[in-house]
Amino acid sequence: MITFEGAAKRHPDGTVAVEGLDLDGPAGRITVLVGPSGCGKTTLLRMVNRMVEPTSGRVLLNGEDVASLPAARLRRGIGYVIQQAGLFPHRRVLDNVATVPRLLGQDRRTARARAAELLELVGLPPETARRYPFQLSGGQQQRVGVARALAADPPVLLMDEPFSAVDPVVRAGLQEELLRLQSELNKTVLFVTHDIEEAVRLGDQVVVLREHGRIAQCADPHTLLTAPANNDVAAFLGRDRGLRGLGLRPASTVGLLPTGTELHGWRLAVDANGRPEGWERGGERRPAPVFAPAADSLRSALDAAVLSPAGAAVAVDGTGRATGLATRAAVLAALGPSVEEPAAERPATEPTAGEPAGGR
Amino acid sequence: MNWLGWLTTFFTAPARQSGPDAIAHRIAEHLVFCGEALLWAVVLAVPLGVLIGYTGRGAFVVTALTGAARALPTLGLVTLAVLLAGVGDTAVLVPLVALAAPPLLVAAAEGVRGTDPVVRDAALGIGLTHRQVLARVCLPAAAPVLLAGLRTATVQTIATATVAAYVGLGGLGRYVVDGLATKDYPATVGGALLVVLLAVAAQLLFAPLIRRASPPQARLTRRTRTRRTKEPR
């Protein structure tokens, strides 16, 4: 667990970076610090590995003051990922990743073997190992940065805007990868970003910061989106809060109709393996948007339902087999009473497909 | 006017083949002066430059020392050194070290200062000590610049070590100085040519070294370029 106790940073010239913050980052969870530039989020993160020393207050790791260890030793036990990766340009990728194990006294062969495992873990092909950093794309460099941070298997990971410098598509991939890694590794992660979308997507706990490191709100992403503490936080969260909140809720609660149900004359065509091929009406065939109740969010389900000519999304299992149909009404019903307003605004032309037929 | 004739005369004279005035002997003397001077210059200037470059403090020292050193007249310095220390190696080494040290100081300071701050930050952040950052990150980054500085210092030292002859010491300067004194123009021209050849040889010798020390980016993409426009950083 990472604990900030009144941690403050005042510069010698009198300016205040962080006024004094109290915060707990629970063990095994991702805590995201998010806020506009200049809110002190990077300063706070760098207090944890003593790249910044607080001028008052302290930072504890599992109850132990970080100042009680020599800085270099402390840092070898904390993974550190930064925006531009910061790889050593004159060393091959493998040796970049092996850096910390080598510092910790592992012999070259062991450290390199470990580094190779990590490259695989972060999804890089083995031939990457022999490349130099400049030969990789930004996204690949960032993966190497993550591998390097994980190499000594530290319990704590500090990530300072790690995905800000790559394009949105690559960023989404890296975020997904981080969540996958985290589900395997359960690190205590402190993640800094200015991107609220990223914060909500990755955080188990999201801390919205105002200037001087003051906490505007600290909550789980769903609470944050549905119940922002004040207008400033709401404004920072941006438009479509309600819809984006759906992205955090599982689609497994949506009631499904049997796949053979006819809707507005449309009928689902499936292939020999039961995979959806499209919606058919008369001689017409249109694509059938799908969602996976086990993996996707309510937002994906709603999106697929909105795009469907029949007004229903096709639920599929892990193998792509159609398991049922989710009408728009069924998706909206799954929202429950807590988010009634968007449901009330829907057009009255919704298909009357009857009661959802249960199932998942 | 017949300088080819002069060169033939110079290179074929028996005195140039063996004895104290032999070409091989003079070259050896010359190189010993240069080597000693460069060694001292490296020992004095590089650690100081590295420290200045890493801490970012004392950059004014670099500016002041290099400016002052550039203004020093070498011959004047030799004379002064002879007056103070008497005729001897010291009298030659002082001006040569003063000549070689500034480019080394600048190269060391600039090379280390030029390390990517992001990489330095990351290195510290993952647990390298300052000493390790210096040795494993900053020095490799500075190596090409440092070697380029050493090349400048070497070439200048080789060209200038002729001053040893002015105070009666050996080296290739003997041919030039003695040649002028005795109107033995073949010796003057031959000696001058040898100094030039030696300097050019040193210059060429550094090229592969600098290339090897270059960052992989410059090293591995070199062949695709038709021509290098500037020194590798």
DSSP states of A137-206 as a string? -HHHHHHHHHHHHHTT--SEEEEESTTTTS-HHHHHHHHHHHHHHHHHH--EEEEEES-HHHHHHH-SEE
Q: Spell out the residues 6+ positions from residue B39 whose beta carbon is closer than 8 angstroms to its own.
A: none
Please say whether the beta carbons of A99 and A90 come within 8 A.
no
Residue A338: pLDDT over 80 = no
- Name beta bridge partners: A10: A16
Mean pLDDT of A27-34: 96
Domain positions in chain B: 22-224
Percent of chain A with pLDDT over 90: 72
Cβ atoms < 10 Å from Cβ of B206: 17
Residue of A nearest to B133 (CA): A88
Q: Which fold has domain B22-224?
A: MetI-like fold (1.10.3720)
Q: Tell me the C-alpha distance between A73 and A33, whole Å.
A: 25
- Name beta bridge partners: A286: A279
**Residue B118, token pair as written in the block:** 């992001």
Residue B52: pLDDT over 90 = yes
Q: Which residue has better confidence, A84 or A340?
A: A84
User: Which residue shows structure tokens 């690949």?
Assistant: A140
pLDDT digits (tens, 9 = 90+) for B98-157: 999 999 999 999 999 999 999 999 999 999 999 999 999 999 999 999 999 999 999 999
Q: What is the per-residue pLDDT for B78?
A: 80
Q: Which residue has better confidence, A38 or A132?
A: A132
**Residue A73, token pair as written in the block:** 């030793």
HSE-up of A178 (CA within 13 Å, CB side)?
32
Instruction: Please report which confidence band the pLDDT of residue A318 belongs to, taking 50, 70 and 90 as the band edges.
Output: confident
B87: part of which helix (H) or strand (E)? none
Partners of A132 on chain B (C-beta within 8 Å) are 216-217, 220
Residue A357: pLDDT over 50 = no
Please say whether the beta carbons of B148 and B210 come within 8 A.
yes
Q: Do B125 and A82 touch (CB under 8 A)?
A: yes
Partners of B220 on chain A (C-beta within 8 Å) are 132, 135
Which of B116, B121, B126 best probes binding to A when mutated, by most A CB atoms within 10 angstroms? B126
Residue A76: pLDDT over 60 = yes
Q: Tell me the C-alpha distance between A173 and B185, whole Å.
A: 77
Residue of A nearest to B128 (CA): A72
Mean pLDDT of B198-221: 89
Partners of A149 on chain B (C-beta within 8 Å) are 126
CB-neighbour burial class of residue B57 (10 A; exposed 0-12, middle 13-18, buried 19+): exposed
pLDDT digits (tens, 9 = 90+) for B169-201: 888 999 988 888 898 888 888 999 999 999 999
pLDDT digits (tens, 9 = 90+) for B55-105: 988 888 888 888 887 778 888 888 888 888 777 788 888 889 999 999 999
Q: Tell me the C-alpha distance between A195 and A247, whole Å.
A: 16
Q: What is the per-residue pLDDT for B44?
A: 94
A322: part of which helix (H) or strand (E)? strand A322-327
As a whole number of Å, the end-to-end CA separation of chain A is 37
Q: Which residue has better confidence, B29 or A242?
A: B29
Nearest by CB: B140 against A73, A74, A90: A90
Q: From the CA of B86, how many Å to the nearest CA of chain A?
A: 48
Mean pLDDT of A141-149: 95
Residue A77: pLDDT over 60 = yes
Please say whether the beta carbons of B69 and B160 come within 8 A.
no
Q: Spell out the residues 6+ positions from residue B24 whose beta carbon is closer than 8 angstroms to its own.
A: none
Q: Do A75 and B124 touch (CB under 8 A)?
A: yes
Q: What is the per-residue pLDDT for A98?
A: 96
Q: Which residue has better confidence, A249 or A307?
A: A307
Q: Tell me the C-alpha distance between A219 and A227, whole Å.
A: 9
Q: Do B216 and A134 touch (CB under 8 A)?
A: yes
The rounded mean pLDDT for chain A is: 89
- Rounded to two decimals, the ipTM of the complex is 0.78
Which of A90, A100, A134 best probes binding to B when mutated, by most B CB atoms within 10 angstroms? A90
Q: From the CA of B223, how many Å to the nearest CA of chain A?
A: 15
Q: What is the per-residue pLDDT for B86?
A: 79
Q: What is the per-residue pLDDT for B168?
A: 81
How many CB pairs lie under 8 A apart between chains A and B? 66
Instruction: Please report which confidence band the pLDDT of residue B231 belongs to, taking 50, 70 and 90 as the band edges.
Output: very low
List domains and CATH numbers for chain A: 2-246 (3.40.50.300), 251-344 (3.10.580.10)
Q: Do A89 and B127 touch (CB under 8 A)?
A: no
Residue A226: pLDDT over 90 = no
Q: What is the per-residue pLDDT for B8?
A: 86
Please say whether the beta carbons of A267 and A288 come within 8 A.
no
Q: Do B126 and A100 touch (CB under 8 A)?
A: yes
Q: Spell out the residues 6+ positions from residue A244 whose beta carbon is closer than 8 angstroms to its own.
A: A197, A200, A225, A299
Residue B1: pLDDT over 60 = no
- Name beta bridge partners: A190: A31, A158
Q: Tell me the C-alpha distance between A189 and B42, whole Å.
A: 47
Instruction: Please report which confidence band the pLDDT of residue A358 belongs to, taking 50, 70 and 90 as the band edges.
Output: very low
Please say whether the beta carbons of B170 and B29 come within 8 A.
yes
Partners of B116 on chain A (C-beta within 8 Å) are 86, 89
DSSP states of chain B as a string? --HHHHHHHHHH-GGGTSSTT-HHHHHHHHHHHHHHHHHHHHHHHHHHHHHHHHH---HHHHHHHHHHHHHS-HHHHHHHHHHHH-SSHHHHHHHHHHHHHHHHHHHHHHHHHTS-HHHHHHHHHTT--HHHHIIIIIHHHHHHHHHHHHHHHHHHHHHHGGGGGGGT--STHHHHHHHHHTT-HHHHHHHHHHHHHHHHHHHHHHHHHHHHHS-HHHHHSGGGSSS--S---
Q: Tell me the C-alpha distance between A139 and B170, whole Å.
A: 62
Q: What is the per-residue pLDDT for B87?
A: 78
